[in-house]
Structure 1
Amino acid sequence: MDTQDHTWIVVADGGKARVFEERERHGDLKELPAWREAHGGEDLSHAHRHAAHSGAGTPKQAAEAEFLQDLAKAIDAAARKKAFDKLVLMAPPKAMGVLRDALKTEAATKLELTDPHDRTHEDARTLKEHLHKLRMPA
């Protein structure tokens, strides 16, 4: 199988993440449900208690930053295991900044596109349309 264009599309905000894969360029997107279950969010009450002692903004902001940094670590681990060839991030601007800053070299070098919008509630078909638009030449 040619994995040259095997792309992961990570759709996230400060509290949840979904990962879709595109096995061939412009192909259908398939959500990876096992990945979502493992990395879809945490009990924010625990994160709020932890953040309250860290002094990093409000507890909610600190919990969101911690979630996004953990998400970046999981993406980095997948990149090291060669789970994907290219990476697309879709997240609101603040979340996007945290994610991009937290990605290590292996995942960062695979970053193909970013879309600074909250798309966590969109289905695979709609995400595919957005991805197609992102890839269109300017």
Structure 2
Amino acid sequence: MTPDARTLVVVADGHRARLLEQPRIDGPLHDRPEWLSGLKEHHPHSHGPVPHEGDPHDLAERAFVKDLAHRLEGVAREQPFDQMILIAPPRALGHLRDALSPSLAHKVIGSNPHERVDAPIMTLEDVVHGVRRDATA
């Protein structure tokens, strides 16, 4: 593993996300809200009547995560990175993993199944460090 590896850290829940950049392994994290411009929050009742095929919250979460995965493809084209770490509650994390393209999924080196969208940078740096430690154990 090269210490200069650039990492994209994706922090999400079912309707909001943050993208952070770590320019080198164990370096500082930098919020990159501009990489999410245009990504809309999805709420269970934001798109009119919901079909009877599922839970409205789950459908809204899946729609948001699908949009997020599509946005990550664009970020990967414009801001090449070597690795990706995913941080999201378990259900959203599963949906996100399912929505990633094979090329992005290949970059995922680990994840943290917790709600941390509002966490301060210092907390997220600790989480990322723990994910890296677990990935090499």
How far apart are residue 105 of structure 1 and its match?
Answer: 1.1
Kindly report structure 1 stretches of 4+ aligned residues shifted beyond 2 Å: 35-40, 42-47, 76-83
Structure 1 match to 2:111: 114
The separation in 2 between residues aligned to 1:77 and 1:33, in whole angstroms, is 14
Letter in 2 for 1:16: R
- TM-score, structure 2 as length reference: 0.86
Q: Deviations over 1:18-63 (max 9, x none)?
A: 000000111110000212443262465323x25x13x331222211
The separation in 1 between residues aligned to 2:131 and 2:3, in whole angstroms, is 21
Task: Report which stretch shifted further, 62-71 or 72-81.
Answer: 72-81
How far apart are residue 73 of structure 1 and its match?
Answer: 1.4
The separation in 1 between residues aligned to 2:55 and 2:34, in whole angstroms, is 31
Structure 2 match to 1:21: 21
Unaligned runs of 5+ in 1: none
Higher helix share: 1
* Alignment length (residue pairs): 134
Unaligned runs of 5+ in 2: none
Structure 2 match to 1:85: 82
The separation in 2 between residues aligned to 1:3 and 1:39, in whole angstroms, is 31
- TM-score, structure 1 as length reference: 0.85
Partner secondary structure for residue 10 of structure 1:
strand
Asked if 2 retains the 8 angstrom alpha-carbon contact of 1:4 and 1:85, the reply is no
Residues 56 and 31 of structure 1: CA distance in aligned 2, closer, same or farther (over 3 Å): farther
Percent identity reads 34
